């Protein structure tokens, strides 16, 4: 009797402590700058979409993005998120359901947000959104030093401050940002065409058009097959700062389409198929009121409220998370490392990895195999 009880307890212990086998071999980290959780989870804002101050053609914009039912209009805005990720991945940050994601840094601006997201560090020192080299070690730099990832890590971003956030000079990472020209060679014939388009853009701002960033990254992915890639998109934030809610919604839909296109590509490429995980998020929130939605900072309520979406072989299909929960941006680096079977360690204290839902059938199967 005692023997049976011990065997039973031992087996139960294995089920509780078992973790699913490492399935993720590649990770793509995708960020769309300053995109609010409100639009992710409820679609177009009823006040802003009807405001001629922020939406130039309210009638047409409503034809494209409006429905009285939030669950339907969020799907109109971001069909890939709600037709695919909601079924096969996980979505965190619907505060209406008590599920919260926040940036832990106090500044709530882009440099601080990306620093937290990519290094796990929540510096108290203020670094403005200017070209200042980051002293913190980032997850891309760390992975690029590991034997299985050396030379297989890259970043493509719309905002031209990323070479400094990622400290390109120290990290030696390949970082293509802003309107930086692409390397032209026989393996990437499309790069010459992308460079020609970039050269002919008359007014070049700090943020490149996201579609150019995306096609540049996609070409690199197809020819170089990186194992870890950061894709930083920026026009959602640019549109909001310009008080263009209609453009903000249009850019959100474009981001959704680009992520859908990239997911379809990796799922049809033998190198990436069924072993690649997407981590999708934002660097900060925005004001939650009609007169503050266009901006964000330490003093604007809602600026630290973010969201997180994940899909891939290391992610259980749990859908929209609706339990009481608080996650932070500084937990992402440890989570990404854990998905790859690595442990990200720096001299700074970083957030603990997310406690991701585990498929119980996998856990039981692993326990039995032991």
Q: Does the residue 363 lie in any domain?
A: no
∠ at Cα 235 (82, 310), nearest 5°? 35
**Is the four-CA dihedral 91, 94, 95, 101 of positive or negative sign?**
positive
How far is 202 from 259, CA to CA, in rounded Å?
28
Do the beta carbons of residue 366 and residue 168 sit within 8 Å?
no
More confident: 243 or 22 = 243
**How do residues 84-137 score in pLDDT, each as one tens digit?**
999 999 999 999 999 999 999 999 999 999 999 999 999 998 999 999 999 999
Structure tokens at 79: 């069909």
Q: Does the residue 136 lie in any domain?
A: yes
pLDDT band at 28 (very low <50, low <70, confident <90, very high): very high
Q: Does the residue 291 lie in any domain?
A: yes
Q: Does the residue 4 lie in any domain?
A: no
Number of structural domains (the chain) is 1
DSSP string across 193-213: HHHHHHHT-SS--SB--HHHH
Do the beta carbons of residue 24 and residue 313 sit within 8 Å?
yes
Q: Does the residue 287 lie in any domain?
A: yes
Q: Does the residue 135 lie in any domain?
A: yes
Reported as half-sphere exposure (CB side, CA atoms, 13 A), residue 197 has a value of 13
Sheet holding 99-102, edge to edge: 305-306, 99-102, 325-328
**Predicted local distance difference test score (pLDDT) of residue 358:** 72
**Predicted local distance difference test score (pLDDT) of residue 211:** 98
How far is 107 from 36, CA to CA, in rounded Å?
16
Phi and psi for 306 in degrees, rounded to 5?
Answer: -130, -160
How far is 117 from 31, CA to CA, in rounded Å?
10
Mean of the per-residue pLDDT values for the chain? 91
CATH code for position 323: 3.40.720.10
Residue 206 domain boundaries: 24-357
**Predicted local distance difference test score (pLDDT) of residue 185:** 73
Q: Does the residue 107 lie in any domain?
A: yes
Q: Does the residue 367 lie in any domain?
A: no
């Amino acid at each position: 009797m005692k023997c049976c009880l011990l065997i039973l307890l031992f087996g139960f212990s294995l089920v509780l402590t078992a973790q699913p086998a490492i399935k993720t071999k590649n990770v793509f980290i995708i960020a769309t700058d300053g995109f609010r959780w409100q639009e992710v989870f409820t679609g177009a804002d009823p006040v802003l979409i009807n405001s001629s101050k922020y939406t130039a053609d309210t009638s047409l914009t409503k034809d494209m993005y409006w429905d009285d039912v939030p669950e339907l209009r969020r799907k109109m805005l971001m069909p890939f998120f709600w037709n695919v990720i909601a079924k096969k991945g996980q979505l965190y940050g619907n505060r209406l359901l008590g599920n919260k994601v926040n940036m832990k840094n106090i500044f709530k601006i882009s440099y601080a947000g990306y620093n937290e997201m990519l290094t796990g560090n929540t510096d108290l020192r203020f670094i403005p959104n200017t070209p200042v080299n980051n002293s913190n070690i980032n997850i891309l730099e760390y992975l690029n030093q590991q034997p299985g990832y050396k030379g297989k890590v890259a970043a493509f971003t719309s905002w031209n401050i990323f070479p400094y956030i990622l400290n390109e000079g120290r990290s030696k990472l390949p970082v293509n940002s802003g309107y930086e020209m692409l390397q032209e060679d026989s393996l990437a014939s499309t790069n010459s065409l992308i460079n020609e388009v970039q050269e002919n853009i008359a007014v070049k701002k700090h943020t490149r058009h996201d579609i150019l960033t995306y096609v540049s990254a996609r070409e690199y992915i197809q020819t170089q097959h990186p194992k870890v890639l950061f894709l930083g998109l920026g026009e959602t934030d640019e549109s909001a700062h310009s008080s263009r809610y209609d453009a903000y919604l249009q850019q959100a839909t474009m981001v959704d389409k680009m992520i859908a296109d990239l997911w379809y590509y990796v799922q049809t490429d033998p190198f990436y198929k069924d072993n690649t995980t997407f981590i999708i998020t934002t660097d900060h929130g925005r004001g939650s009121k009609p007169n503050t939605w266009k901006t964000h900072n330490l003093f604007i309520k809602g600026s630290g409220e973010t969201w997180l979406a994940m899909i891939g072989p290391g992610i259980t299909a749990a859908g929209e998370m609706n339990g009481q929960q608080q996650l932070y941006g500084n937990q992402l680096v440890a989570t990404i490392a854990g998905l790859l079977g690595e442990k990200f360690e720096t001299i700074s204290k970083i957030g603990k990895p997310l406690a991701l839902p585990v498929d119980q059938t996998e856990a039981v199967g692993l326990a039995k195999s032991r």
